[in-house]
Amino acid sequence: MVVELISVGTELLLGNIVNTNARYLSEKCAMLGLSVYYQTTVGDNRERMAGVIKTALDRADMIILNGGLGPTEDDITKEVCAEVMGARLVEDPTVKAHLEEWYKLRMKSELPESNWGQALVPEGAVIFENHNGTAPGLAVEKDGKIAILLPGPPGEMYPMFEEQVCPYIQGKQSGIIRSQMIKICGFGESKVEEMLLDLIDSQTNPTIATYAKTKEVHIRVTARAETDEEAKKILKPVVKEIKKRFGNAVYTTDENETLEDVVVRLLTKYDLTVTTAESCTGGLLAGRLVNVPGASEVFRQGFITYSNKAKRKQLDVSKTTLRKYGAVSEQTAKEMATGGVFATDADICIAVTGVAGPDGGTPEKPVGLVYIACYMKDSVQVEEYHFNGNREKVREQTVVQALDLLRRSVLSHYKKD
């Protein structure tokens, strides 16, 4: 099935905001086995919007419009789409009741007259309830084509899509699409593709798609089948084979789990606490860890030791080490990690020191050189990295590799036991 995405919003055309919704919807469409050939952004202009909708309905089976469903005069998506499709707008009592309740509960007020329009829906439309706002989502079916209208705010659109729109679209397809995510850390995208070349080359069902993230690759395996059971059967051997090829580098197969989630989950599981000792990342590693709700159980404090003096004072790195090997060295990283554990009551310390640039690089220690050390159970492991890119990129990559070293350290210690 061919799908076309239309984003509505003058703020997108002015460059006020990035169109993250288009990325989200494109990925979801790929997951559902749908082909997206065009994404279009258009403003709150009747004529231009109608033109875009007509063109899209001509060349696709399904169009997904996003934005312009609010209560203001500028919000014309529903009206224009209904007009193009020749559907009359009628008041929907369920939507109206939801609106009234929403205003009573959240806004402590009566539904303002200007918002009544939100209760109008194209006759015969499928309604997707909005649990996080006022505008419902809608699916209008006409002449073998489908238009799906979704609210713009991601906080409203994402849950609506996952809970209601996905099953709706799946119901429109013959058979089942099922996909499985495999997230890998520590391999570049081209290396991953090389290692999967035989599988990718021979792929028809399931298909394998790779998504490159900073120092991570996400692999999505997607199967089509008549039943969910059959789809699972098609996925299983391929997923198993991929997991075998990447071994420990696979950090999760859960679509919604991040690398820091996994780290916090492992630390919690083994009842461990961690501290951080950061130089070039200046707090970003700790910042990633405390992204995870409940991180306070495993992470209680961290050190940002940018200067040599701070490394000496807070982490007890020896003056001799700093003088002899320099702040960016295997030895300093090791002493930082060791010092972090001794300065706190944490079980593990992950330490980072490197040259993030743009200045500070030398021929021996160029920009991008980073040492990451992990102290755990009386032993300290250190890894040397050479990252490409600007200051920000070097720091981003360092944080990911540090989280991964922490993950691998915990895993290897507990496998031994």
Per-residue binding letters, 263-302, with a copy of itself (x by CB under 8 A): -------------x-x-xxxxxxxx-xxx-xxxx--xxxx
Cis bond upstream, residue 154 (ω within 30): no
- Taking CA atoms, 137 is separated from 29, 124, 127, in Å, by 17, 13, 6
- Which CB, 76 or 119, lies closer to a copy of itself? 76
Min dist. Cβ of residue 209 to a copy of itself (A): 7
Return the structure tokens found at 324: 């002899």
The nearer residue to a copy of itself, 146 or 295, going by C-beta atoms, is 295
Min. distance of Cβ 97 from a copy of itself in angstroms?
26
Find the DSSP H helices in 161-222: 166-172, 189-195, 197-201
Tokens 């258009």: give the residue: 42
41 touching a copy of itself, by CB under 8 A? yes
| Residues 57-86: x where in contact with a copy of itself by CB under 8 A, - otherwise, as a string | ------------------------------
Among 170, 248, 344, 381, binds a copy of itself (CB under 8 A): 344
Q: Which stretch binds a copy of itself (CB under 8 A): 72-80, 246-254, 354-362, 374-382?
A: 354-362
Residue with Cβ nearer a copy of itself (64 or 121): 64
CB atoms within 10 A of CB 263: 25
Q: Which of 163, 392, 412, 414 binds a copy of itself (CB under 8 A)?
A: 392
The answer to the question of residue 309 lying near a copy of itself (CB under 8 A) is yes
Question: Using the rule CB under 8 A, is 334 a contact of a copy of itself?
Answer: no
Q: Phi and psi for 118 in degrees, rounded to 5?
A: -70, -15
Say how many residues make up the chain: 417
Instruction: Kindly state the number of chain residues that form the binding site for a copy of itself, as judged by CB under 8 A.
Output: 73
Give phi and psi for 333, each to the nearest 5.
Answer: -55, -45
For position 105 contacting a copy of itself by CB under 8 A, the verdict is: no
Q: Cα separation of 366 and 387, whole Å?
A: 10
What are the CA-CA distances from residue 279 to residues 306, 336, 341 (Å)? 5, 10, 16
- In this complex, which beta carbon is closest to a copy of itself, that of residue 89 or of residue 304? 304
* Cβ neighbourhood burial of 340 (10 Å; 0-12, 13-18, 19+): buried
Report how far Cα 68 is from the mean position of its chain's Cα atoms: 25
DSSP H or E segment with residue 336: helix 330-343
Give the x-and-dash track for 10-29 against a copy of itself (CB under 8 A): --xxxxxxxxx-xxxxxxxx
Selected from 240, 358, 412, 414, the binder of a copy of itself by CB under 8 A is 358
Say how far apart CA 87 and CA 396 lie, in whole Å.
50
Residue 227 binds to a copy of itself (criterion: CB under 8 A): no
Could you tell me which of 66, 82, 70 has the C-alpha nearest to residue 134?
A: 70
Nearer to a copy of itself, 139 or 285 (CB): 285
Using CB under 8 A as the binding rule, the residues of this chain from 149 to 168 that contact a copy of itself are: 155
CB nearer to a copy of itself: give 1 or 310.
Answer: 310
